[in-house]
Chain A
Amino acid sequence: MEDQKPTSILVLDDEPIVCKRLKSALEKRGYEVEIFFRSSDAFKRITERNFDIVITDLKMEGLDGMAFLTEVKKRSPATEVIVITGFATMETAKESFQKGVFDFLAKPFKLGEIQDAVERAEKKIKGNIS
């Protein structure tokens, strides 16, 4: 029997406008979405449960996105992480890649772009693509 549980997504971005935009767009597509503006709150949450997909900004106060990404992959290697960043550099792109990030999106991006990345990540999780 097919698993009907919706794909769970954690969104972490210190800009509330970005979080709210993503939550609304992703929930419309049937995903279960939790948003966090502070990395400390998001970190606490990932100690409580695993998410299928994590979408995280990189540049934040406190625990930055790269450290958060590392922690997510350490606790739950199966979680696919999508990095979104307003201050992309070659180094952060490479480091994200080496840490096993599923996708790296520089802002600005259209909602369709992140929806597409989430769909691809979901397919990978469900084993539909190699």
Chain B
Amino acid sequence: MRILVALDTNRYSQYVVNEVAKLAMNTWADVTLLGVESRKPASNGTQPPRNLPIVRKLQEFREEFLGYFKDESVSPYAIKRWGYELVDRGKGLLEEMCVCKGMKDFRVRIRFGQPTKQILTEAVEEQSDLIVVGCSKGEQCTWEQDRNAPEKIVKAAPCSVLVVKEEKKPTKIVCCLDHDSVSQESLELINQMVTLHQTDLALVGLTESEHLREEVDQKMKQILQYYTAQKIKAWVSVVDVSLLDKFIADTAEKGLIALWMGHKSLIGKFFSQDRVGKLVRSAQSSVLILR
């Protein structure tokens, strides 16, 4: 699993690092911590700009993250091998440098430019399975340089996105799923989140009308069988589309909301991108958008 962690200097980014470290302790994922700065400051030759606040913050986050893996004998990020690799130093300069690697990749990167664009570019180039991004609680996020960055990332990301609102262990995970087109990757990501938080799983199907309720219920039970076979405690409920906003608002207080929004998603049709954006802005708990 490849996790891209988009960070700024706000307090919620601290929560994000902690959440990702816990997930990485279980999954031994390849992890990239990414900060974005709007403009690259003038630099002296190939010397990197060390005095930017995001540079210092990322160094703190790196130490915080690696602090979860103090026992190097079983750490996936402890250096296990090294070798010489050609590294592009810019301005037409290639340099052969000694590169150390662990069993899993752990990188800290800074990109320059518009935050959403840079984060999405990184996710595509690195083929991330999950983007994790922080967001303030309340209507207005305070992401640096682009207040709507988490919302925009959720709308345009090529992979699943976890928007972390606060450091809180969810007591349940509520998954709004399509009944017959959920991707295997999404089911697997839910498995990992359930394992991480040791919670029960509520599977929610959507119906547009009462006469379809039984049909949706039957199809949701097929997904339930998958989880039951995996020995995950799960139950099914069917919600009318018109009540989805209220349902999510009610459940978001205690649980982690997961919405399947892949290309074939019916929820994607019911639930417009603007409504997803509103959900990300207004949710009191973390939100997982599955793709």
From B30, B76, B184, contact of A93 by CB (8 A): B76
Separation in Å of the A23 CB from the closest CB of chain B? 16
Q: Could you tell me if A106 and B26 are in contact, using CB atoms closer than 8 angstroms? A: yes
Known contacts A87-B230, A90-B26, A112-B127; is-contact A106 B81 (Cβ 8 Å): no
A-B contact count (CB 8 A): 68
A residues near B2, Cβ cutoff 8 Å: 109-110, 113
Number of interface residues of B (CB under 8 A): 23
Stretch at the interface among B188-196, B209-217, B244-252, B257-265: B188-196
The proximity string for B residues 19-31 relative to A, scoring 1 for CB distances below 8 Å and 0 otherwise, is: 0000001111110
The proximity string for A residues 10-35 relative to B, scoring 1 for CB distances below 8 Å and 0 otherwise, is: 00000101100000000000000000
B residues near A68, Cβ cutoff 8 Å: none
Instruction: Kindly state the separation between the CA atoms of A2 and B171 in the bound complex, as whole angstroms.
Output: 58
Instruction: Kindly state the separation between the CA atoms of A27 and B26 in the bound complex, as whole angstroms.
Output: 30
Instruction: Kindly state the separation between the CA atoms of A107 and B189 in the bound complex, as whole angstroms.
Output: 7
A residues near B184, Cβ cutoff 8 Å: 15, 17-18, 108
Known contacts A90-B25, A129-B81; is-contact A106 B76 (Cβ 8 Å): no
Known contacts A86-B191, A88-B27; is-contact A104 B76 (Cβ 8 Å): yes
A4 within 8 A of B: no
The proximity string for A residues 112-130 relative to B, scoring 1 for CB distances below 8 Å and 0 otherwise, is: 1100000000000000011
Instruction: Kindly state the separation between the CA atoms of A88 and B230 in the bound complex, as whole angstroms.
Output: 13
B99 within 8 A of A: no
Q: Could you tell me if A104 and B81 are in contact, using CB atoms closer than 8 angstroms? A: no
B residues near A94, Cβ cutoff 8 Å: 74
Q: Could you tell me if A93 and B28 are in contact, using CB atoms closer than 8 angstroms? A: yes
Q: Give B128's nearest chain A residue, CB to CB.
A: A110
Instruction: Kindly state the separation between the CA atoms of A93 and B27 in the bound complex, as whole angstroms.
Output: 7
Within 8 A of B (CB), among A36-59: 59
Write 14 A-B pairs (CB below 8 A) sorted by A numbering.
Answer: A18-B184, A86-B230, A87-B230, A88-B28, A89-B195, A90-B26, A97-B76, A104-B103, A105-B28, A106-B192, A107-B1, A109-B2, A109-B129, A110-B2
8 more contacts with CB within 8 A, not counting A17-B184, A93-B74, A104-B28, are A15-B184, A18-B184, A89-B26, A93-B25, A93-B27, A106-B29, A109-B129, A113-B1
Residues on A facing B (Cβ under 8 Å) = 15, 17-18, 59, 86-90, 93-94, 97-98, 103-110, 112-113, 129-130
The 10 closest A-B pairs by CB, nearest first: A106-B27, A108-B185, A107-B188, A108-B188, A88-B27, A86-B191, A88-B26, A106-B1, A87-B195, A94-B74
